[in-house]
Amino acid sequence: MPSFQPIEAPKCPRCGKSVYAAEERLAGGYVFHKNCFKCGMCNKSLDSTNCTEHERELYCKTCHGRKFGPKGYGFGTGAGTLSMDNGSQFLRENGDGPSVRNGARLEPRAIARAPEGEGCPRCGGYVYAAEQMLARGRSWHKECFKCGSCKKGLDSILCCEAPDKNIYCKGCYAKKFGPKGYGYGQGGGALQSDCYAHDDGAPQIRAAIEVDKIQARPGEGCPRCGGVVYAAEQKLSKGREWHKKCFNCKDCHKTLDSINASDGPDRDIYCRTCYGKKWGPHGYGFACGSGFLQTDGLTEDQISANRPFYNPDTTSIKAREGEGCPRCGGAVFAAEQQLSKGKVWHKKCYNCADCHRPLDSMLACDGPDGEIHCRACYGKLFGPKGFGYGHAPTLVSTSGESTIQFPDGRPLNGPKTSGGCPRCGFAVFAAEQMISKTRIWHKRCFYCSDCRKSLDSTNLNDGPDGDIYCRACYGRNFGPKGVGYGLGAGALTTF
């Protein structure tokens, strides 16, 4: 029977010892001890988010950039942080040989040459995954990924692949391979005319183009200048062709397009504003609002005479008994009707019968008298009177006399029972009861014993003495005292 052969555990690249499952950390296809999973330069502890593996050695992202990243101008996160740091502060001097720490060589190494057509297109060396940049289907070193003309560092957004199998920034690409001459570029200051060594090599153009130089036959050319309209410059309006130069408003000469062009009755074109002034309706009630009423060409007297004003007589057409407006009796048509309790009203008549306030479906209250009222007038006329209704500032007394007969609102007679209100002792009926800790109170007696603040189920606190308190008074009487309690250093309760 063969002897038992244990499975050999993988070795840690840092210390060379076996790594077991309970302590393993993975990076770059290698297994490390948890204690060995740290940067080979700065000895910083690493995790899966900031770990970078290079040739069986671990680095943090900063040290990996110092050792293997590009150097010089154009790299880093800004002009003030361009990296020229190679990690020399972490090196250990050794006169016999190169500086080494934890088995990782920190000196720049020679780039191994790759087979023809497989390496970096600029230097020909092998490109590893941690430093590769992609362009034209090839892998480039990050330090080689720069413009072929101005040597500016590039990225995937700025890179332009040129026909000469090189990469350029957008500016150099446009200068070298873009169109030349006037009319190209990103603006007047960036017109690409680098191909002309002297000013006399640039094409000379005239400031104004004479579109009427070649006249068309009558009725066939541009309606404004009469010249022949070619396809490259034509604009269409109402079946007619215009020069792009002539396609502007006849009055204000504003340049037009298919969206804001308006064809006038005189067979010319206008912008919307000029069309409205010249051909649109005039007077009150037109245009975009009171500040833009189109009254051009009208005198003040004409404007006043044409001012619309109409006071409709709703009683001029009488309805049959019980079918018209309940207030005026006139016939109600669909365009002006308002509904209330199955009856149809004129919009003009749909107001409060007392204060004549205009109403709508949310404000109208149907009264027992068959009329409609606003809420305030309805409450005065048909609502309950005296104390105990509404809110204190709006209690209604229609007689003009004070209704205060019992200031404290408590009964003066009647039987007192042991199961009555704990505060006044009188019997509590279902319509006015408030419950607290299995005891029943009158609603008028349900207030704080100290500050007399009215209470409800949200701010009620039952005290040890059998009374009820608001939160503040309960804390003051029965809460903890001394330093460390209260709402803050300025509100510590010590009384």
Predicted confidence pLDDT, tens digits, the chain (495 residues): 556 666 778 889 888 888 888 888 888 788 888 889 989 888 888 888 888 888 888 889 888 888 887 766 555 444 445 555 666 655 544 433 344 444 444 444 567 778 887 888 888 888 888 888 888 778 888 888 889 888 888 888 888 888 888 899 988 888 888 887 655 544 444 454 444 444 444 444 444 567 777 888 888 889 888 889 888 888 888 778 888 889 999 988 888 888 888 888 888 999 988 888 888 776 555 544 444 455 555 566 665 665 555 566 777 788 888 888 988 889 988 888 888 877 888 888 999 998 888 888 888 898 888 899 998 898 888 887 765 554 444 455 555 454 444 445 555 566 677 778 888 888 888 888 888 877 888 888 889 988 888 888 888 888 888 899 999 999 999 988 765 555 544 455 544
- Amino acid, single-letter form, for residue 329: G
In a domain, 63, yes or no: yes
In a domain, 48, yes or no: yes
Q: Model's pTM, two decimal places?
A: 0.24
CA distance 160 to 170: 6
Write the DSSP assignment of 152-179 as a string of letters: -B--TTT-EE-TTS-EE-HHHHHHHHS-
Per-residue CA distances from 30 to 12, 37, 199, 277 (Å): 8, 11, 65, 81
| 3-class secondary structure, 412 | coil
Tokens (6 digits) for 49? 């988010």
If one counts the domains in the chain, the total is 5
CA distance 380 to 399: 11
Strands (E), 214-256: 234-237, 240-243
**Phi-psi category of 257—alpha, beta or left, where left has phi over 0 and alpha has psi -120 to 50?**
beta
Closest by CA to 61, choosing from 80, 71, 47, is: 47
Point out the domain boundary residue: 174, 202, 226. 174
In a domain, 338, yes or no: yes
Point out the domain boundary residue: 358, 382, 406. 382
Q: CATH number for the domain including 333?
A: 2.10.110.10
Predicted pLDDT of residue 479: 87
* Measured torsion, CA atoms of residues 241, 243, 248, 253, in degrees rounded to the nearest 10: -140
CA distance 337 to 320: 16
In a domain, 256, yes or no: yes
Domain check: are 320 and 375 in the same one? yes
In a domain, 306, yes or no: no
DSSP 351: B
Tell me the sheet residues that pair with 51: 60
In a domain, 239, yes or no: yes
CA distance 70 to 86: 10
Point out the domain boundary residue: 235, 254, 279. 279
Give phi and psi for 377, each to the nearest 5: -70, -35
Residue numbers of the domain that contains 438: 433-478
In a domain, 222, yes or no: yes
In a domain, 347, yes or no: yes
